[in-house]
């Protein structure tokens, strides 16, 4: 099995577990999947997904500033009217994405 086939297989396993409503332990037991492998692949796929994501939606919650929520839970808050800082944040995020 190629790497991309293995990755697709595990993506399907993750989706199936999510839809099943079962705990990871129960799902793995019923489907003869090693829990350690399940968690390892879940982490690997999550990291790969975060690295491949484009910019997340930016919402302006009020006129006092801009709040950007990034994958992984990081939050960037900037005061309203600070276009220079916003441009700098976008530049840094773009550079980080290209390095990933």
| DSSP code for 20 | H
- Distance CA(11)–CA(28), nearest Å, equals 14
Distance (Å, rounded) from C-alpha 77 to C-alpha 39? 33
Measure the CA–CA gap between 77 and 69, rounded to whole angstroms.
9
pLDDT(2) > 90: no
pLDDT digits 0-9 by tens, 43-84: 888 877 655 555 556 555 556 777 777 766 777 788 877 778
Q: What is the pTM of this model?
A: 0.49
Q: Chain-wide mean pLDDT for the chain?
A: 79
Domain ranges across the chain: 3-51, 58-99
In the three-class reduction of DSSP (H, G, I as helix; E, B as strand; rest coil), residue 47 is classed as helix
């Amino acid at each position: 099995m190629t790497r991309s086939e293995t990755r697709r297989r595990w993506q399907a396993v993750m989706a199936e577990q999510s839809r099943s409503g079962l705990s990871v332990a129960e799902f793995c037991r019923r489907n003869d999947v090693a829990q350690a492998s399940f968690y390892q692949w879940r982490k690997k796929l999550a990291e790969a997904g975060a690295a491949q994501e484009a910019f997340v939606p930016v919402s302006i919650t009020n006129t006092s500033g801009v709040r950007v929520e990034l994958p992984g839970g990081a939050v960037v808050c900037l005061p309203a009217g600070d276009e220079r800082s916003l441009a700098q944040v976008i530049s840094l995020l773009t550079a980080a994405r290209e390095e990933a």
